[in-house]
Amino acid sequence: MKKVLLILGLIVVLAVGGVSVYISMIDWNQHKDKIAAQFNDITGKRVVFEGPVSFTLLPAPKLTATDIKVYNPDGTAEDKPLATIKSLIANLSLGPLLQGNFEVKMMSLVEPEIWFKVMPGGKLNWQIPMTEAQKANLENVEISLDSVTLEKAKVNFEDEKHGINTQLDNLNGEVIAESVFGPYRIEGSYVKDKSPEGFAISLGQFSESFATSVNFVLNQPTSQSYLRFDGTVLLKNDAVNGNLIVESKKFKEFFDSTFPNQKLDENLDYPLAMSLELDTNKTKISMSNIVVKFGTSAGAGNILIPLFENEFVIDG
């Protein structure tokens, strides 16, 4: 019996080894369009592999690609890349891969650059609705991300309406996700205006019908500032609900860094401690249970800003 098991094991090893040799002999660059098409079907984005692509099976499945560009689907208003990636290395689990599922044990994105832009209608350039076929593909393929690292990333954010155009450099972080729709955990650090900052984000599962839980922490050591939000977001209704806390010992430095197009008056450079409950949707911005200590001054109250009228109400 032991000899039979040994022979069977040897056959399996030789078979896998033979498959590995066969896979290593394939010129995967001839199949880049097919690989990209699979990414397109799953993500709803147009992924282009402009550089070389390779795949190895042993000792563990690994996909390597360089010079990658991510676009919105053809026919959208702007045909500019949403992201570019200098190189991608993905280590996959063999068992799920043989069943047609993707379990990414570790993925490294080297020097990606990502562009976020608020469009005239108020939505982000990334917010393109998925087709029913793409939703079905995601439901039929299990995708989990055990660890995705960003190395030397650059993030650009532009909102012409509010005069915001900011850039984060040298972003290094890690993303962990149970599925494409979340939940997610993201944490890391970046450089903004030559100052280092750290962050941690937890996002619940994404849904078009239900609110997504959001926990966000930002730490800016140079201004000794700290911002935390715990609540929910429902993009369909532009709804944000939760608790916001801001503490800063060098508030002017924190304000000027956060809002580069606005400069705080030197006479207002005091330590700040503030907490409030935020409730927004398409018709209002409500800030209640506000508690503020600014320098030696303190106050409390509520603010209601109707978005359909040019007026706001202050109670406190």
pLDDT tens-digit map of 190-228: 887 778 899 999 988 777 678 889 999 999 999 999 999
pLDDT attached to residue 7: 35
Contacts of 205 (CB under 8 A, 6+ apart): 179, 181, 182, 183, 212
- SS3 state of residue 52: coil
Confidence of residue 4 (pLDDT cuts 50, 70, 90): very low
Confidence of residue 75 (pLDDT cuts 50, 70, 90): low
CB 237 within 8 A of CB 212: no
Q: Is the pTM of this model over 0.95?
A: no
Residue 167 to residues 152, 160, 194, 252: CA-CA distances in angstroms? 13, 14, 11, 20
Between 45 and 138, whose confidence is greater?
Answer: 45
Question: Residue 7, by phi and psi: left (phi above 0), alpha (psi -120 to 50) or beta?
Answer: alpha
Tell me: pLDDT of 130 over 60: yes
Between 45 and 97, whose confidence is greater?
Answer: 45
Q: How many residues does the chain have?
A: 316
pLDDT attached to residue 17: 40
Confidence of residue 42 (pLDDT cuts 50, 70, 90): low
- From the list 68, 71, 64, the residue with the least C-alpha distance to 43 is 71
Q: What beta strand segments (E) does the chain contain?
A: 46-49, 53-56, 62-71, 83-92, 102-110, 113-117, 143-159, 164-177, 184-192, 195-203, 212-220, 225-234, 239-248, 272-280, 284-294, 297-306, 313-315
Residue with tokens 């994105």: 109
Tokens of 67: 């010079």
pLDDT attached to residue 194: 79
pLDDT tens, residue by residue, 142-196: 666 677 898 999 988 887 776 778 888 899 998 887 766 678 888 999 887 778 8
Tell me: pLDDT of 22 over 50: no
CB 168 within 8 A of CB 192: yes
Residue with tokens 């599922």: 101
pLDDT attached to residue 173: 92
pLDDT tens, residue by residue, 261-283: 778 888 888 999 999 999 998 88
CB 302 within 8 A of CB 287: yes
